[in-house]
Structure 1
Amino acid sequence: MNPRQSLTIVVAAYDEAASLPLLHPRLQAALDAMPDVDGRVLYVDDGSRDGTWEVMRGLAAADPRVSLLRLARNFGKELALTAGLDRVESDAAVVIDADGQEPPELIPQMVARWREGYDVVYGRRSLRRGEGWFKRFTSAAFYRVMEKLSPTPIPRDTGDFRLIARPVLDALRGVRERQRFMKGLFAWVGFRQIAFDYEAGARLAGRSKFDFWRLWNLAIEGITSFSTVPLRVATYVGVLTALLAFIWGVTIIVRTLAWGNPVQGWASTMTVILFLGGVQLMALGVIGEYLGRLYLEAKQRPLYLVADAVPAAADPPGDPPAGL
């Protein structure tokens, strides 16, 4: 490595006008604790509806190490994070959420592990403050389900908080799928990775933008992006249902030949019809999820659109900005 490395902290934000002024001093302190690192902060505004962009501009005006990127609309956290990482030209990047639940004070420790030769240093939550039991339970269940379904080993209880070295950033730039599950992509690219445990705190301000519905959709995104097991399960259910139907049909034939064919009840007939119809619709839904992703990939639209970009004032004129 070079004697003086460069580092960009990437923060994707959506309606976080209240949190960013509280988070930024902690990011400044983390960079100041590493005098041998050329540090920058890149804020990505994911189409916020409140005053997030104005707050970001104020932070950039007060701190020459801050660069900004504003997307044309809300593309979602995964694509906002992709937009930020695409513009990092430094030796490494640190991804951290805008809500302050992930401690920036740990960034120097991440840099130390990077200097030991690791390409990805990711945080693993040992404690989640400020979250209800239901969210903690469903999050833990999701990672354990993914562990069983996906051939790509996705570490348990990890968020986006991690340091990513230059080779990994270059590898991620070559992955341009539209339906993105970044936690899976970070694991998929491989390289030398190491975990460290930390305690996640409560939000600095406001409420989480990820309600149950968004978390559910993110889980579906992760499963369908990194596993074809649901398709296989639909196949197995169809085969099993067909086998049961064949056995039931043989039973009816034998019973009719032996004892005649008395008229059966309406309730049992409707139960069988509804059961088979439900299985078919479920299988079609699973197939539709994968087909829909193929449709989005086939259109080849840009992953995101940039409305505005502000380079860091500390970047020399004519040189590529550290964060853009």
Structure 2
Amino acid sequence: MKNQLISIVLPVFNEEAGIQATIDTLLNYIEQQEESYELIFVDDGSKDKSVAIINQAIAQHSNIKLVEFSRNFGHQLAITAGLEYTKGDAVVVMDADLQDPPEVIPQMIEKWHEGYEIVYGKRMQRDGETFFKKFTAKMFYRTFRKLATIDMPLDTGDFRLMDRKAVNQLMKLHEQDPFVRGQVTWIGFRQTSVKYHRQERIAGETKYPLSKMVKLALDGITSFSMKPLQVVNIFSILPLASGVFSLGYLIVTSNYSLASVGVTILLFTLGLLMLSIGILGSYLGRVLDQVNNRPRYIVSKTEGFEARNKGIHDFSARQINN
């Protein structure tokens, strides 16, 4: 155990108010553990002093490292980039606001030593979040489970531990808009959970407003389910069936004017067409992103790394450092 290295990946976006407390808490946690640790912060285009605070910590602690994006690319890509830079025997992903308590990590490591390659945190309680956010999150996980082709566990976020071989397989996936928790489920391996109490943010505000929550949900569903397309195909039959039925009814009874029935069918048909186009557009948008083959993110600078990690798979990470 003493020879094992645990990497902790922490995405950061405008966390100036609480990032020092996070660093101090994690350093205090590390001092009490038998394993060796590295802390890899990934700055996702912060506009505040988050990077400066992390750099001050790097100057004092050799196990703290920073990957700095050239701009904001998103939370899921920040996690992906952090994983690319790790070299630990196991990797823990957690938020930088201490809502994911470090005290849970030893439980994850214990499960890892039992032979599980992936150990995810299952949230039993969520403090400091509105009823709306809790309700929508609950509905998303249950809807996703009904639609998706993978059996993603309920009420889990990105807080988890992954064995090195699981991380290596995850890095072979190159989706432009990754849904990491779905990808982790998809790659398989032996997976289990540890239950924990998700705490309130120590400072600052959530970096996941409604718009980002909706995008994450759409990315997840369109990444792992074709059922929305199938539903559209089924519903596309309704306008035609309604039109045939209404026409037959008019011919037999003559109780309704052709104009009123025509307008009703037209509006109904247009509504379904707009819904269909929207869903198709979501899938085609993902295809376009893949075809464009742009780098998923650009790393402008790294700090604290003695040498470039071997085995980096992402093109953008290689390109910016060459």
| Deviation of the 1:38 alpha carbon | 1.8
| Deviation of the 1:255 alpha carbon | 3.5
In 2, the alpha carbon distance for the partners of 1:153 and 1:19 equals: 35
Find the counterpart in structure 1 of residue 121 from structure 2.
Answer: 123
State yes or no: 1:300 paired with 2:293: yes
Partner letter of residue 87 of structure 1?
Y
| Count of residue pairs the alignment pairs up | 313
With over 3 angstroms needed to count, the CA separation of the structure-2 counterparts of 1:122 and 1:9, relative to structure 1, is same
- The structure that has the greater radius of gyration is 1
In 2, the alpha carbon distance for the partners of 1:226 and 1:69 equals: 29
Find the counterpart in structure 2 of residue 233 from structure 1.
Answer: 231
State yes or no: 1:309 paired with 2:302: yes
Find the counterpart in structure 2 of residue 66 from structure 1.
Answer: 64
In 2, the alpha carbon distance for the partners of 1:319 and 1:263 equals: 75
Indicate the RMSD between aligned Cα atoms, in angstroms. Answer: 2.0
In 2, the alpha carbon distance for the partners of 1:166 and 1:17 equals: 31
Residue pair 2:62, 2:304 contacting (<8 A) in 1 also: no
In 2, the alpha carbon distance for the partners of 1:135 and 1:3 equals: 41
What per-residue deviation string (whole Å, max 9, x for no partner) do you get for residues 210-249 of structure 1? 1111111111111111111110110010013322222222
**Identity rate, percent:** 35
| Aligned mate of 1:271, from 264, 267, 279 | 264
In 1, the alpha carbon distance for the partners of 2:308 and 2:294 equals: 30
In 1, the alpha carbon distance for the partners of 2:216 and 2:241 equals: 35
What per-residue deviation string (whole Å, max 9, x for no partner) do you get for residues 63-101 of structure 1? 221011101110000011100001112211100101111
Q: Secondary structure at the match of 1:195?
A: strand
1:50-89 equivalent positions in 2, closer than 5 A: 50-89=48-87
In 2, the alpha carbon distance for the partners of 1:3 and 1:48 equals: 35
Partner letter of residue 121 of structure 1?
V
In 2, the alpha carbon distance for the partners of 1:238 and 1:42 equals: 49
Could you state the TM-score of these two structures normalised by the residue count of structure 2?
Answer: 0.92
Find the counterpart in structure 1 of residue 320 from structure 2.
Answer: none
In 2, the alpha carbon distance for the partners of 1:319 and 1:287 equals: 41
Partner letter of residue 27 of structure 1?
L
With over 3 angstroms needed to count, the CA separation of the structure-2 counterparts of 1:129 and 1:67, relative to structure 1, is same
Residue pair 1:40, 1:65 contacting (<8 A) in 2 also: yes
Partner letter of residue 6 of structure 2?
L
Q: Secondary structure at the match of 2:257?
A: coil
Residue pair 1:26, 1:105 contacting (<8 A) in 2 also: no
State yes or no: 1:291 paired with 2:289: no
Could you state the TM-score of these two structures normalised by the residue count of structure 1?
Answer: 0.92
